[in-house]
Copies of this chain bind each other. A is one copy, B any other.
Amino acid sequence: MSSVQMRDPPSFADVEAAARRLSGVAHRTPLVTSRMLDEMLGAHIVLKAEGFQRMGAFKFRGAYNAISQLTAEERGRGVVTASSGNHAQAVGLAASLLGASATILMPSDAPASKRAATEDYGATVIEYDRYRDDRHMLLADLAGELGASIVHPYDDPRVIAGAGTCALELAQDAEPQATVVVPVGGGGLLSGSAISLRSISRATRIIGVEPEASPDVHRSLRAGQRITVPISPSIADGQLLETPGEITFGVIASLVDEIVTVTDAEIIDAMRLLFERAKLVVEPSGASAFAAVLAGRVRDESIGVVLSGANVSAERFAELVAAS
Contact = CB atoms under 8 A, between A and B. Distances in A.
Contacts of A318: 317-319, 321-322
Contacts of A275: 281, 314, 317
Q: Which of A32, A280, A318 has the most CB of B within 10 A?
A: A318
Interface string A256-283: 0000000000000001100110011100
Given A272-B314, A314-B272, A279 B51 contact: yes
Contacts of A272: 314
A56 interface: yes
A116 B247 CA distance: 50
A271 B275 CA distance: 13
A199 interface: no
A30 interface: yes
B321 A276 contact: no
A276 B271 CA distance: 14
B314 A276 contact: yes
A52 interface: yes
Interface in A273-297: 275-276, 279-281
Contact of A313 (B30, B276, B310, B322): B276
A315 interface: yes
A28 to B, nearest CB: 12
A190 to B, nearest CB: 22
Nearest to A272: B314
A279 B278 CA distance: 12
A62 to B, nearest CB: 20
B310 A321 contact: no
Contacts of A276: 313-314
Contacts of A315: 321-322
A280 to B, nearest CB: 7
Nearest to A310: B279
Contacts of A321: 314-315, 317-318
A32 B49 CA distance: 13
A309 to B, nearest CB: 9
A119 to B, nearest CB: 14
Nearest to A113: B276
A123 B228 CA distance: 55
Q: Which of A310, A314, A321, A322 has the most CB of B within 10 A?
A: A314
Contacts of A310: 279
Contacts of A319: 318
Sorted from nearest, which 8 A-B pairs have the closest CB atoms?
A318-B318, A279-B310, A279-B281, A272-B314, A318-B321, A314-B321, A51-B279, A275-B314
Given A315-B321, A318-B322, 4 more contacts: A51-B279, A272-B314, A314-B321, A318-B319
9 contacts: A272-B314, A275-B314, A276-B313, A279-B281, A280-B281, A317-B317, A317-B318, A317-B321, A318-B322
